[in-house]
Structure 1
Amino acid sequence: MEFDYEKLADVLAPKLIDGLQEIVDRQLENQEIPYMLTIDQLMKFLHIKRWKASELLGRSDFPVLREAGVLIPREELFEWIDRNLDWVKENTSYIKAV
């Protein structure tokens, strides 16, 4: 009798993804990630230094509100990360830390 690892992976992958999504949702509900991030919170969240954060904030496509200082909306940040995953992988250690 042979064990089919691919079949096991096909069964487990959706369950793992659902479990990870629940963890992220719970963190958001508990406000572990604030609704609006400051530059220092962004640096901590993405595991980047100030010069890299400044580069990021200077991008025209990066979601930042400057009317009340420098604030980054959490949901828009997550959408930006999804759209720019290559930049995030190359310039931060966020993917490794998650």
Structure 2
Amino acid sequence: MFNATFDQEQFQKVINVAVDQALKRHEIQNQIPPVLTRKQFMELTGVGESKCAELFNRLDFPVCRELGYPRVRTEKLFEWMDEHTNWVKDNINRESKLRII
């Protein structure tokens, strides 16, 4: 049999970081238009023409071509980014481990 203790201070730090990031993300989302042009997308993400073209041609990327020119719905972009971000997968277990005594 084993006993496990929970590091409440470390857990609180993880929660604080997550909440801060969520608030920042929400603030950013409210400041940008609901639909991005190619140029706006590149400015927002800091990518160049080549990377933009690569992303816009991916089957899983949330680009809409029905409006004449490709557009990206901001809401879907943030969802796509969440799904394709490895930070949570790579770090959540490391930062919120239970210590086994």
- What is the TM-score with the length of structure 1 in the denominator? 0.68
Matches within 5 A, 1:11-90: 11-29=12-30, 32-68=31-67, 69-85=69-85
Deviations 1:43-84 (A, max 9, x none): 122211101100110111111111211110011111111222
Q: Pick the structure with greater CA Rg.
A: 2
Distance (Å, rounded) in 2 between the aligned partners of 1:81 and 1:66: 19
Query: Which structure features the higher share of strand residues?
Result: 2
- What is the TM-score with the length of structure 2 in the denominator? 0.67
Q: Is the 8 A contact 2:36 2:71 kept in 1?
A: yes
- RMSD of aligned alpha carbons: 1.7
Distance (Å, rounded) in 2 between the aligned partners of 1:48 and 1:20: 21
Distance (Å, rounded) in 2 between the aligned partners of 1:81 and 1:27: 14
Label 1:20 to 1:85 Cα distance change in 2 as closer, same or farther (>3 A). closer
Distance (Å, rounded) in 2 between the aligned partners of 1:70 and 1:11: 42
| Structure 1: segments with no counterpart, 5+ residues | 1-5, 87-98
Query: Which structure features the higher share of helix residues?
Result: 1
Q: Which has the higher contact order (CA 8 A, sep 6+)?
A: 2
Aligned-residue sequence identity (percent) comes to 28
Q: CA deviation at 1:7?
A: 4.5
Q: CA deviation at 1:23?
A: 2.1
Q: Is the 8 A contact 2:37 2:70 kept in 1?
A: yes
Q: How many residues are paired up? A: 79
Distance (Å, rounded) in 2 between the aligned partners of 1:28 and 1:51: 25
